[in-house]
């Protein structure tokens, strides 16, 4: 485990892979797969699995297949298939083989026949309720089905007729004959096939029986010559069954390894809940920017790199854990800081009139596109005597540590001039409607020739030049770290303020051509990106990806 004299720290799965490569267990071969069921959109938890499976394949010169676990026609749909492929690609991965469990329906059927002939599987004609009753409980053994010793010929005949569609759903199932007294409930004669009279999105009405996960998955892995079959912890109990099928069939045998799934606080991650949020309109679709789905994060402005980096940071173990959402946010900020174009926009505008600026005059000033990356160049930003600044950047009676604009105080307008507030205009309610200020022409570009300093730099947009945009601010979808944790309905914890829509906000005119897929930093505010669905030329819509860290906000909230 030493490379270039430096110790590498491998996660437990990579450690196993390296050991297997050394011992020659799989002939030095590494083959993984990412096996989603096309019954929903991929989320950040899937990203962990994707990064793990594709990552390991890449690191060890192996292969990684994308395989749909499409064994339940009642739940699956091509819409999901397309979304899954788009999301995996967008994350930056490409699969070696693209397969479906449904590609293997015939092979699976043939293998089932083999097990029946060997007396290792039988057709059970008990009802679902009766099977449950016979299964026993966690602490009591189950009872054998009266059909358990049906002759092989009869099993074969029944199984064939199940396939042909002769029976209604629930009439029969095919079960593995293992051990009804096993402490592991998965081994109490698990169902291998059930009758489903519904067309499959790929195989149509060719089949009337469909294999269960436990049977289909291990055989699919075997067919694809997977070496390391990585899955989440809840399948640990299923491993003996995974092994049993492959051993009984005497076929190629991958190794199943389980790791803990990703949990994020202030979010829900189960497909059931995500589907419910979408279906019942709590959010606007699977790609709503508040959703922890890959498509939602993409629309929100997250980059593939930031998600991959996040997945690296969280690691891979068998410990149940809840990752702090702030780590995800840190990952985007870290990435966007390096790549986002800096621009100026004002979300909560306050009008400023510069009383000593030439009437009706304007000029263009140079602004840096990204101080972290000089190669991104500079741009011209129009300036005039009529500006918008952020309302939060002015206080008439500032507290001690407030460094921004206030009466008599001088601040710098970013890339422009020093500005001093000389007067405050209010309406009949006492609300501030406008600031009357003066500027120092000698400070053009932002530096004073006499060397005097200001405590703050604020952003601005020239009012006559500004274009207007809609800005959508997102906050966490839930108000508590673990929604629904105390047995309450997680929907009780939905954050009513998770979306704030701001209309007609002034932004600098250079943004007129902003296209989705480009990340901007609105200086001093946060990272924003045009909404891929709703933003149009002339009707811009920006999504806030994440705020900038704001130490004044903290200071402000101190008691």
Partner RNA sequence: UGGGGCAUAGUAUAACGGUAGUACUAUGGACUCUGGAUCCAUCAGUCUAGGUUCGAAUCCUAGUGCCCCAGCCA
Closest CB 290 distance from RNA, rounded Å: 20
Which residue's CB is nearer to RNA, number 186 or number 479? Answer: 186
**Residue from 318, 379, 491, 533 that binds RNA (CB under 7 A)?**
318
Q: Is 127 in the site for RNA (CB under 7 A)?
A: yes
What stretch of H or E contains 48? helix 44-59
Helix pair angle (213-223, 239-249), 10° resolution? 60
Tokens 């149509």 belong to: 204
**Longest CA–CA separation in the chain, Å:** 102
Closest CB 365 distance from RNA, rounded Å: 8
Which letter, b or e, does each residue of 372-396 get, where b requires 16 or more Cβ atoms within 10 Å of its Cβ? eeeeeeebebbbbbbbbbbebbbee
**Residue from 144, 186, 384, 479 that binds RNA (CB under 7 A)?**
186
Site string for RNA, 430-469 (x = CB under 7 A): ---------------xxx--------xxxx----------
Catalytic residue of the set 18, 37, 85, 276: 37
Q: Is 315 in the site for RNA (CB under 7 A)?
A: yes
**Residue from 118, 327, 512, 539 that binds RNA (CB under 7 A)?**
327
List Cβ<8 Å contacts ≥24 apart for 534-541: 534/470, 537/512, 537/513, 538/512, 539/470, 540/467, 540/468, 540/469, 540/470, 540/507, 540/511, 540/512, 540/514, 541/469, 541/470, 541/471, 541/472
Which residue's CB is nearer to RNA, number 285 or number 446? Answer: 446
Q: Is 275 in the site for RNA (CB under 7 A)?
A: no
Query: Which listed range, 21-29, 55-63, 230-238, 432-440, lies at the site for RNA (CB under 7 A)?
Result: 230-238
Side-chain half-sphere exposure of 71, counting CA atoms within 13 A: 24
Which residue's CB is nearer to RNA, number 150 or number 318? Answer: 318
554, 528 in Cβ contact below 8 A? no
Q: Taking CB under 7 A as the criterion, which residues in 395-414 touch RNA?
A: 401-404, 412, 414
Which residue's CB is nearer to RNA, number 326 or number 433? Answer: 326
Sign, CA torsion 403/406/408/410 = positive
Q: Is 138 in the site for RNA (CB under 7 A)?
A: yes
How far is 118 from 110, CA to CA, in rounded Å?
Answer: 13
- Strand bridging mode 467-474 / 499-507: antiparallel
Query: Which listed range, 87-95, 167-175, 222-230, 282-290, lies at the site for RNA (CB under 7 A)?
Result: 167-175
How far is 445 from 206, CA to CA, in rounded Å?
Answer: 73
How far is 86 from 94, CA to CA, in rounded Å?
Answer: 10
**Residue from 281, 408, 551, 559 that binds RNA (CB under 7 A)?**
551
**Residue from 324, 363, 434, 470 that binds RNA (CB under 7 A)?**
324
Catalytic residue of the set 25, 86, 135, 261: 261
Closest CB 354 distance from RNA, rounded Å: 17
Q: Is 521 in the site for RNA (CB under 7 A)?
A: yes
Query: Does residue 364 have an active-site annotation?
Result: no
Q: Is 163 in the site for RNA (CB under 7 A)?
A: no
**Residue from 82, 157, 372, 497 that binds RNA (CB under 7 A)?**
372
Instruction: Please tell me whether residue 470 adopts helix, strand or coil conformation.
Output: strand
**Residue from 89, 313, 426, 468 that binds RNA (CB under 7 A)?**
313
Which residue's CB is nearer to RNA, number 54 or number 402? Answer: 402
Query: Does residue 76 have an active-site annotation?
Result: no
Site string for RNA, 76-115 (x = CB under 7 A): ----------------------------------------
Q: Is 11 in the site for RNA (CB under 7 A)?
A: yes
**Residue from 78, 153, 317, 348 that binds RNA (CB under 7 A)?**
317
What stretch of H or E contains 152? helix 152-164
Query: Does residue 164 have an active-site annotation?
Result: no
Closest CA to 227 of 14, 45, 84, 36: 14
Q: Is 337 in the site for RNA (CB under 7 A)?
A: yes
Count of helices and strands (H, E) across the chain: 13, 26
Contacts of residue 3, defined as CB under 8 A and 6 or more positions apart, other chains included, come to none
Closest CB 428 distance from RNA, rounded Å: 29
What stretch of H or E contains 311? helix 304-314
- Catalytic residue IDs: 37, 261, 271
């Amino acid at each position: 485990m030493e490379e270039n004299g430096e110790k590498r720290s491998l996660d437990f799965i990579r450690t196993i892979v390296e050991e297997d490569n050394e011992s020659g267990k799989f002939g030095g071969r590494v083959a993984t797969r990412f096996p989603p069921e096309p019954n929903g959109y991929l989320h950040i938890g899937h990203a962990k699995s994707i990064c793990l499976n594709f990552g390991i394949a890449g690191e060890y010169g192996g292969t990684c297949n994308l395989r749909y676990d499409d064994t339940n026609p009642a739940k699956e749909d091509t819409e999901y298939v397309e979304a899954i492929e788009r999301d995996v690609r967008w994350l930056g991965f490409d699969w070696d083989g693209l397969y479906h469990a449904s590609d293997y329906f015939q092979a699976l059927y043939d293998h089932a026949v083999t097990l029946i002939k060997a007396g290792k599987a039988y057709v059970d004609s008990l009802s679902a309720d009766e099977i449950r009753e016979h299964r026993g409980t966690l602490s009591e053994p189950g009872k054998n089905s009266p059909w358990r010793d049906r002759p092989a010929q009869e099993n074969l005949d029944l199984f064939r007729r199940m396939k042909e569609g002769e029976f209604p759903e629930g009439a029969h199932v095919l079960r593995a004959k293992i051990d009804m007294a096993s402490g592991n409930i998965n081994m109490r004669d698990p169902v291998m096939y059930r009758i489903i009279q519904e067309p499959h999105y790929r195989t149509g009405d060719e089949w009337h029986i469909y294999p269960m996960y436990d049977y289909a998955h291990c055989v699919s892995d075997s067919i694809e010559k997977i070496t390391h079959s990585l899955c989440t912890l809840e399948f640990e109990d299923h491993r003996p069954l995974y092994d049993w099928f492959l051993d009984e069939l005497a076929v190629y045998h991958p190794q199943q390894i389980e790791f803990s799934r990703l949990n994020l606080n202030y979010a829900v991650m189960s497909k059931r809940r995500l589907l419910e949020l979408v279906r019942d309109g709590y959010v606007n679709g699977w790609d709503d920017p508040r959703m922890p789905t890959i498509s939602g994060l993409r629309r929100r402005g997250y980059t593939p790199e930031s998600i991959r980096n996040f997945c690296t940071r969280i690691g891979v173990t068998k410990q149940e854990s809840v990752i702090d959402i702030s780590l995800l946010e840190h990952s985007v900020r870290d990435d966007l800081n390096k790549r986002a174009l800096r621009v100026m926009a004002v979300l909560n505008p306050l009008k400023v009139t510069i009383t000593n600026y030439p009437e009706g005059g304007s000029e263009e000033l140079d602004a840096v596109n990204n101080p972290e990356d000089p190669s991104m160049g500079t741009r011209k930003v129009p300036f005039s005597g009529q500006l918008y600044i952020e309302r939060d950047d002015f206080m008439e009676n500032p507290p001690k540590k407030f460094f921004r604009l206030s009466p008599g105080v001088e601040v710098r307008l970013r890339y422009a001039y020093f500005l001093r507030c000389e007067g405050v205009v209010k309406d009949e309610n006492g609300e501030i409607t406008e600031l009357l200020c003066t500027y120092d022409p000698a400070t053009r570009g932002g530096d004073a020739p006499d060397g005097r300093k200001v405590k703050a730099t604020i952003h601005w947009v020239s009012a006559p030049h500004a274009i207007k945009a809609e800005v959508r601010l997102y906050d966490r979808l839930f108000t508590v770290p673990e929604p629904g944790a105390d047995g309450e309905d997680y929907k009780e914890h939905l954050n009513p303020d998770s979306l704030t829509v701001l209309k007609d906000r002034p932004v600098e005119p250079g943004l007129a051509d902003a296209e989705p897929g480009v990340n901007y930093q609105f200086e001093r505010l946060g990272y924003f990106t045009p909404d891929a669905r709703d933003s149009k030329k002339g009707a811009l819509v920006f999504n806030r990806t994440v705020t900038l860290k704001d130490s004044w906000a903290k200071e402000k909230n101190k008691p």
